[in-house]
Structure 1
Amino acid sequence: MTKLTTGAFLIGILAIGYFTVVQPASAVAQSLDELATGCAGCHGENGVPIDKTIPNIWGQNRSYLLTQLLDFKRGHRVNEQMSPMVEALSKTDMEALATHFSKLSWPDLQQPPVPDDVKAKARAILNPLNCRGCHQEHYQGDMVRPRLAGQQDDYLVKTMTDFHTGDRKTYLGMVALMKSIDEADIKALGAYLAALKLPGHIDQPH
């Protein structure tokens, strides 16, 4: 074996060793089904989350889902469950997951009915703030804003409270709006929005 050939051989061996030993396990590609199954551990196999403070993601707007995954990946949002889950995801993985879940039917989370006085209170708060200007007429969201209608009550309350206190700062407009609301009124908003259904739309039973 010549000196040049020997050198090339050694470089090849070192390269193989690097990719075998140094490359992390996360570099192994997972199928979309495998990735989605990991999400189901918290968000529910049938679209109904295992905890009321966890959001429904079935049928949620694609761009919003992708933005949230990217925010967790970049550390703009921190959550003890979500942050480790997205650490190994590529942008392609996140785009595939956002597309997958956005195409699923929004589940019926069986939110409790809201008394008329709570409805009136919520509307008196939401209408002057023109929340439908961003979240649309029926709170169905748009290309970048999430659907709020029919979302988990406790999740909505927690999210609005986090914006109110400044614990969540990913949308400065929301921080300003929620700070203008008394924290004691946020529960009424969550109950009202959670009980809304989109006209002509039947949520899937779980």
Structure 2
Amino acid sequence: MIASSRDPKYPSALRDLGHGLFFSSALKLVALSAVLLAGALALAPDAARADSVEEAAQVCSGCHGENGVPMDKTIPVIWGQRREYLLKELHDFKTGHRKNETMAAIVDSLSKTDMEELASYFSKKQWPTQEQPAPPADVVSKALAVINQLNCRDCHQDHFQGDYVRPSLRGQSEDYLLKTMTDFHTGERANFPAMSALMKSLNEDQLKPLAAYLASLPPKVPSISER
């Protein structure tokens, strides 16, 4: 039997080490988030002053990744995402309908044309492959039960590739999917009332399998012969 850290016989040095490793990891995550936020806020005016959409996109890469894969997995992949969806989210950040301190600072000085160009630019990029592992069969079963319960395919399409206003979910970061669904569930995110209603109808235990399943799908929609 493995000794519990609460066991009086458990060596205090090991217990302290375990606590130290936990807090060290937590502090590193907080520090990374702070660095990303500070960097984005510092570069925010540069997006509006950029001479080209490529230069403006460099500001975005500070959080969303030089190669399209964000360092912080709670930040979404935007390479290859639907143009209309990206444009709507930029608009919602600018008007305050969607809350995020970093994004609010970035879009504050952007014009409608700036946002349209950025949305077009990122939508034409190839979605990066993150090779997120396929979940176990029981997790897939739980996810499919939720998908069928909510009729997710009615909006996000048969293969979760999205449409003109709904985002593609295939291969999105699992941590981001879980966070944004949780935000809809709790009311932290409220810029799409239909999603809020659907997510509030679930309990939190149903969200994680759904996020894991969607994240594991390859970004490319399978051809007819592959289905």
TM exceeding 0.5: yes
Q: Report matched runs for 1:89-100 at 5 Å.
A: 89-100=110-121
State whether structure 2 residue 150 is matched by structure 1 residue 129.
yes
Tell me which residue corresponds to 1:88. 109
State whether structure 2 residue 216 is matched by structure 1 residue 157.
no
Tell me which residue corresponds to 2:56. 35
State whether structure 2 residue 162 is matched by structure 1 residue 141.
yes
Describe the shift of the 1:113–1:89 C-alpha distance in structure 2 as closer, same or farther (beyond 3 A).
Answer: same
Describe the shift of the 1:114–1:30 C-alpha distance in structure 2 as closer, same or farther (beyond 3 A).
Answer: same
CA-atom RMSD in angstroms: 1.7
Larger relative contact order (C-alpha < 8 A, sep ≥ 6)?
Answer: 1
Describe the shift of the 1:27–1:142 C-alpha distance in structure 2 as closer, same or farther (beyond 3 A).
Answer: closer
SS at match of 1:45: coil
SS at match of 1:78: coil
- 2:94 aligns with one of 62, 68, 73: 73
The aligned length equals: 178
Q: Shift of the alpha carbon at 1:80?
A: 1.9
Tell me which residue corresponds to 1:114. 135
Q: Shift of the alpha carbon at 1:128?
A: 1.9
Identity %: 61
Q: Shift of the alpha carbon at 1:158?
A: 0.4
Provide the rounded CA distance (Å) in 1 between the counterparts of 2:48 and 2:169: 35
SS at match of 1:40: helix
Q: Shift of the alpha carbon at 1:27?
A: 6.8
Unaligned 5+ segments in structure 1 are 1-23, 202-206
SS at match of 1:46: coil
Describe the shift of the 1:31–1:120 C-alpha distance in structure 2 as closer, same or farther (beyond 3 A).
Answer: same
Unaligned 5+ segments in structure 2 are 1-44
1:50-83 Cα offsets, whole Å, 9 max, x none, are 1110000000000000000000111111212111
Give, as a single letter, the amino acid of the residue that structure 1 aligns with 2:62. G
Larger Rg: 1
Describe the shift of the 1:49–1:26 C-alpha distance in structure 2 as closer, same or farther (beyond 3 A).
Answer: closer
Tell me which residue corresponds to 2:222. 199
Instruction: Tell whether the 8 Å contact from 2:78 to 2:122 is kept in structure 1 after alignment.
Output: yes
Q: Shift of the alpha carbon at 1:200?
A: 3.9
Provide the rounded CA distance (Å) in 1 between the counterparts of 2:158 and 2:48: 43
SS at match of 2:101: coil
